C-alpha cells in the first residue's frame, strides 16, 4: 500500500506564523493590562478583606498570561523554522536535477560533434 503524500507551501506557513504573531501582540496587551493594579483602598472599608483574597489569583492569572505569550511566540518561531526547513529541503532535492539539466546540453553537443 502506497502512502499518500502531502504538499507544504512554506509561504503559507510564514503567513500563519505572522497571524500567530498577531496573537502574541494581543496576549502582550493582556499582560500589560494585568500589570495595572488597583490600590487596596479601592475596595473601601466594607470590602477591605478582598485584596488579600483576590491578589494571589490575579498573580496566577498574570503568570499564566506571561507563559502563554512565551508558548505562542515559541509556536510562531517553530512554524517559521519549519517553513525554512521545507525550503532548504526543496533546495537540496532540486540541486542534483539542476546539475543534470545543466550537463545535458553539453552531452548532447558532444554526441553531435562526434
pLDDT digits (tens, 9 = 90+) for 63-76: 999 999 999 999 99
- Are 79 and 20 in contact by the 8 Å Cβ rule? The answer is yes
- Are 74 and 8 in contact by the 8 Å Cβ rule? The answer is no
Provide the CA 80 distance to its chain's centre, in angstroms. Answer: 6
- Helix H segments across the chain? 10-35, 50-112
At residue 101, what are phi and psi to the nearest 5 degrees? Answer: -65, -40
pLDDT category at 100 given cuts 50, 70, 90 is confident
The model carries a pTM of 0.71
2-6, 15-19, 50-54, 97-101: least confident range: 2-6
pLDDT tens readout for residues 39-65: 777 778 888 888 888 888 888 999 999
Q: In the chain, where are the structural domains located?
A: 10-33+45-112
C-alpha cell at 110: 558532444
Amino acid at each position: 500500500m502506497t502512502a499518500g503524500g502531502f504538499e507544504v507551501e512554506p509561504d503559507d506557513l510564514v503567513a500563519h506564523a505572522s497571524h500567530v504573531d498577531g496573537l502574541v501582540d494581543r496576549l502582550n496587551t493582556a499582560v500589560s493590562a494585568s500589570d495595572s493594579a488597583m490600590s487596596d483602598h479601592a475596595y473601601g472599608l466594607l470590602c477591605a478583606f478582598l485584596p488579600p483574597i483576590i491578589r494571589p489569583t490575579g498573580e496566577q492569572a498574570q503568570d499564566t498570561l506571561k507563559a502563554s505569550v512565551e508558548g505562542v511566540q515559541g509556536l510562531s518561531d517553530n512554524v517559521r523554522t519549519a517553513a525554512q526547513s521545507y525550503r532548504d529541503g526543496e533546495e537540496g532535492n532540486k540541486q542534483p536535477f539542476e546539475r543534470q539539466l545543466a550537463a545535458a546540453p553539453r552531452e548532447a553537443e558532444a554526441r553531435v560533434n562526434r
